[in-house]
């Protein structure tokens, strides 16, 4: 097995929000620090740095994951999605972000990037969640400001609007 000195630099190559990126890091650098300091993707926040608060949540190959519990070298060759990828820099907000805005589901916003990345993954897998299920999913995130109720409402509202959009699509024509 290849041995890497603990202070030696190793180049990590990955896809960040669909764009190939690379930067050097030490073997023990966390993915959260690599994204922020190595790649300048500061939308991912760092709170507790031991997997409790959820602020650092990103998606690794589409699955919500704690960036502070992942080494940067483990992201080699992976597809990493961060809050910066939820909409274009100058484009409209995603429906989930719009719902957060509409329901006042953020105040200081420190927790918001991580919550959005969890919810984005969750709603793909669970398009019709109950309020209890959404609250259970959000139990992996700490928010000091909102009291959670508007966040829950924003997630349920997004799910409902997506279901309406799907139901109103025309059926494919029979041949």
- Contact residues for ligand FES (CB under 6 A)? 46-49, 51-56, 66, 68, 106-112, 143-146
* Angle formed at CA 87 by CA 165 and CA 137, multiple of 5 degrees: 70
Tokens standing for 170? 């025309």
Both tokens of residue 86?
């939820």
Indicate the residue among 38 and 162 with the shorter CB distance to ligand FES: 38
* In the complex, least distance from residue 105 CB atom to ligand FES, rounded to whole angstroms: 8
Question: b/e per residue, 9-36, with b = 16+ CB within 10 A?
Answer: eeebebebbeeebebebbeebbbbbbbb
Output 52 or 73, the one with its CB closest to ligand FES. 52
Which CB, 13 or 144, lies closer to ligand FES?
A: 144
Nearer to ligand FES, 4 or 46 (CB): 46
**Closest residue by Cα to residue 155 from 97, 111, 82, 92:** 97
- Measured from the CB of residue 41, what is the shortest distance to ligand FES in angstroms? 15
CA distances to 62, 71, 99, 103 from 67, rounded to whole Å, are 13, 8, 25, 27
Closest distance to ligand FES from the beta carbon of 124 (Å): 21
What is the nearest approach in angstroms of ligand FES to the Cβ of residue 33?
A: 10
Whether residue 47 contacts residue 107, with contact meaning beta carbons closer than 8 Å, is answered with: no
Shorter beta-carbon distance to ligand FES: residue 128 or 137: 137
CB of 100 to ligand FES, least distance (A): 10
């Amino acid at each position: 097995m290849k041995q890497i000195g603990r202070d030696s630099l190793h180049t990590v190559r990955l896809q960040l929000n669909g764009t190939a990126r690379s930067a050097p890091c030490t073997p023990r650098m966390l993915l959260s620090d690599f994204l922020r300091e190595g790649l300048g993707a500061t939308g991912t926040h760092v709170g507790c740095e031991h997997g409790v608060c959820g602020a650092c949540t990103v998606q690794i190959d589409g699955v919500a994951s704690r960036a502070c519990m992942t080494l940067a070298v483990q992201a080699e060759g992976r597809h990493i999605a961060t809050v910066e990828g939820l909409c274009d820099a100058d484009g409209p907000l995603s429906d989930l972000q719009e719902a957060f805005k509409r329901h006042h589901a953020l105040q200081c916003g420190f927790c918001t990037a991580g919550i959005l990345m969890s919810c984005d993954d969750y709603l793909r897998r669970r398009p019709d969640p109950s309020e209890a299920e959404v609250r259970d999913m959000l139990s992996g995130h700490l928010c000091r400001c909102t009291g959670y109720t508007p966040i829950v409402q924003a997630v349920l509202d997004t799910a409902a609007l997506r279901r309406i959009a799907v139901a109103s699509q025309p059926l494919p024509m029979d041949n």
